Structures are given as C-alpha cells and as structure tokens.
Structure 1
Amino acid sequence: MHPVLAAFPRRPLTLKPGRGSIGAWLMALLGLVLFGGFLALVAVQIVPEIRDDLAIRDAAVPAPQVRVTDGRCRSRMFLFQDCEVTLTWRGKDGQGSRKLSYMFVEPHMGSWSVIPMMDPARPGLVSTDLGLERLTNRMLTAAGGVVFAILLIGGLIVAATKGQGKAREVKALSGRPLEPVPVRFAGWGTGPSWRVQDERGATFEWPVRKKDKPFVIDAQRGMVLALRPTEGGAAFPLDEKLRFVTLSAEERARVRQAGGLPPT
C-alpha cells in the first residue's frame, strides 16, 4: 500500500467542491446580460435596417437632398467593423433624420466615404451606399453574431447547471465513510475540470479551479489520490493542498508528509 493511502484517516469526511456553482451562475448571468443586450440590439435596430435596405436596394439612387451630419466607424480585431451614420433631410413633411448602424466583416483599409441613398417612391427609407453595398455581408454578420451569442449563453447556462449538479454529488459523498484510492489522471476537461479513471475503467469528471493541482502519488503511472465510498462508487480526486477535504492540521500534515510534500 502506498504510504499516502496508509496515512489517510478512516472516518466519515466532509468534502468540498473544487469549484462552486455560484461563480458559474454569475458568469451565466453576466453573459445573459451582455449577449442578451446584443440580441436585443439586433432585433430592435439591425434587423429593421436590413429589412428596409432589402426593400429599396434595387430602386435606390443617390439622394443629394440628404446630408450626412455624423458618422464614425470602429474597427475591432482588424476585421469586425461597427459603423454609425446619421442622415438628415428636409422634405414636404418637414425635416427628417435617421440614425443607421452597420456591422460587417471586412479588413480595415482606411476611411470609408458615404453617399446617401433613397428610393424616390419611398422617401422615408433613406440609406447609404456603404450599407447597401455590404447588405449581404451585414446579413451574414448579424446571423453569425446571433448564433454565437445564443451558443455562448447556452454554454454558460449548461456549465452552471453541470457545476451545480456536481456540487450536489460532492454533498452526497460528504459525511460517509470514505477510503483513499489511487486513480489515473485522465486529463483536463472544460470549465476547467479534472477527469479521473478508477481501476474498473469508470471515468469521473469534477470541476476545479485552473490553479488547482491534483495530489500525485505516482507520477510515472499518472496516478493521483482520490476518495471513494467504502462500498464503491464515484472517485473524488483531491488537490495537492488537500483543500477539497476537511482534515485536522495533524491529519493534513501526516498525509502530505507521506506524499513527500511539506506541511502547509
């Protein structure tokens, strides 16, 4: 028997999740706010502008009576362009104005010039050559952004739900007689998390922090220390600092010394 296994106390132990679910839910909430706001922007502003440009693109002509009163573009990561243009005009019904927002993917090669455009049959639907020429690009960019936002929000919610489920599993193991066992470290998962495999080939995954390190008991074979119910079941890997289990100072020092680690 490995000295670490012999040094570990045989009694009911309280386990602690390597990474709680509260932080994951906060990240999911932040993602929902940020990317939910983007989805709202697309629905309220981007989609109506694309719809109007689709309606007039075949009949649009330069509109000398329309002026560009404000306009700017911001380039992100060289390829993603975000432009805002404000158009004003005076017609039979008085003065009108419209603020347009464009998002498209294109290498940033300097400033863009803007020519106001309009459909003579529908003078209220003013646009620009910049928007009309990149209409397909804008549509694909908006669609890609929507898909990315939905996938990201969904992924964050799934990760938070998974983390909460793992926390319940840890709570179910706590307070029971647990035995130390060697398990094979099977690598890092997403989240991040550790994957471990017991002697029967069963694999278990547990969320941890990026800075956590497993308690290695046989580096050559890739074996780490874990706790498992005496009657069998899920193997819960322990970290090098033994932060994932409640031990007395004497017990922690004895286990770490058996593993060739200095006491904490």
Structure 2
Amino acid sequence: MTTSPDHTAPLRLPPRGQGWINTFWVLFGVVALGAILVAAGVYTAPAVLSDWQVRDAAQSVPDARVSDGKCTSKIVIHICDATLALRTAAGTVTRRVNYVFTGVHVGDYSIAVMADPSRPDLVTTDLGLDRLWNRTITLLVGATAIAACIFAALLALVRNRRAAG
C-alpha cells in the first residue's frame, strides 16, 4: 500500500531539552512575576483606590509634612514614594504613598499635600491626583500584562511536559 503525497499528516516533535532545569527557570520566573504582581497590589493599588475616593473633595493642606519623598524613572515609567504626615484633631495621620505612572518628564517633581477634610486618613498629594487616570491605566495594563505572562508561561510548561511525556 502506498501513501499519496497529497495526504500528509503533520508531525509533532517533543521540545528538545525540557529537563528539570528549564522547568525550574520557568517556575522561578513565574514566582518573580507573581511577587511583582503582589507588590503592585499591596503598595500601588491602595493609593490609587483611595485617591479615587477623595479626588473631588481634596484640598491643599499647607501645614502637612512630606518626608522620604523620592522619584525614580526607568525610560517612561516613573515610581514615586513619599511619607505624608498630617496633624488632625484626633492626632497625627501618617501615610506612605506609592505612585507608578508613565510619561516623559525631565527634572524634579514638586508636590503639595492634599486631603479630604472628612477623610484626613486618606491624605494624598496633588501629583497623585493630577495623574490619577494615568496611574490607574498604568496599574491595570501592567497587572494584566504580568498576569498574562504568568498564565502563558504556565500553559507552555504544561503543554511542553505533555508533549515530552
């Protein structure tokens, strides 16, 4: 019996070199990306959510203090951290904020402390409020991209293991 050259079945070859060391590196990358995702959820997301809550009623608070404020830039990604302190009738409110946003900027940022008089515990800055949409989109796009990379890596690992086995 002869096989017609017009009817060929596709061949599937198992991936080469799918040993434990490759699995280790994939899982290491997944854990590292997972840690970045958790860090975004713990440090960046709360400040974004609270700024959405006070954005309309926030007012400048001239007697508040900013300490440990710094911004770093990686190409077009800016990460700013600051510790804000505000004296209220109930005591001093101290809050650490983390802003991650995109844009082209050269030079220093100047900030003013802002707070909603009815919610002084959610003290923020004008920088955070001015870039609220940018921060929200940056957080959503970044978290989605990281989650997609984790999912794709795990999916590829499972598929390659099945093909090799």
TM-score range, shorter chain: 0.7 to 0.9
Provide the residue aligned with 2:18 in structure 1: 20
Instruction: Report whether the alignment pairs 1:157 with 2:154.
Output: yes
**Which of the two has greater helix per residue?**
2
* Corresponding residue SS for 1:111: coil
User: 1:96-137: per-residue Cα shift (whole Å, max 9, x none)?
Assistant: 211000011111311110110001121111000010000000
Provide the residue aligned with 2:58 in structure 1: 60
The answer on whether the counterparts of 1:24 and 1:156 sit within 8 Å (CA) in structure 2 is no
* Corresponding residue SS for 1:69: strand
* Corresponding residue SS for 1:90: strand
Could you tell me how far apart the structure 2 residues matched to 1:122 and 1:165 are?
Answer: 55
Provide the residue aligned with 1:38 in structure 2: 36
Letter aligned with residue 75 of structure 1: S
**Which of the two has greater strand per residue?**
1
Which structure 2 residue ranges, 5 or more long, are not aligned? 1-13
Letter aligned with residue 56 of structure 1: V
Q: CA deviation at 1:17?
A: 6.2
Provide the residue aligned with 1:70 in structure 2: 68
- Between 46-55 and 127-136, report the one with greater CA deviation: 46-55
* Corresponding residue SS for 1:84: strand
Q: Cα–Cα, structure 1 residues 128 and 17, in superposed 2: closer, same or farther, change >3 Å?
A: closer
Q: Cα–Cα, structure 1 residues 24 and 123, in superposed 2: closer, same or farther, change >3 Å?
A: same
4+ residue runs of structure 1 moved beyond 6 angstroms?
A: none
Provide the residue aligned with 2:6 in structure 1: none
Provide the residue aligned with 2:138 in structure 1: 141
Q: Cα–Cα, structure 1 residues 36 and 117, in superposed 2: closer, same or farther, change >3 Å?
A: same
Which structure 1 residue ranges, 5 or more long, are not aligned? 1-15, 169-264
Letter aligned with residue 54 of structure 1: W
Could you tell me how far apart the structure 2 residues matched to 1:17 and 1:59 are?
Answer: 58
User: 1:42-85: per-residue Cα shift (whole Å, max 9, x none)?
Assistant: 32232221111111111111111211111111111x20111101
- Between 155-164 and 125-134, report the one with greater CA deviation: 155-164
The answer on whether the counterparts of 2:15 and 2:160 sit within 8 Å (CA) in structure 1 is no
Instruction: Report whether the alignment pairs 1:98 with 2:95.
Output: yes
Could you tell me how far apart the structure 1 residues matched to 2:99 and 2:121 are?
Answer: 18
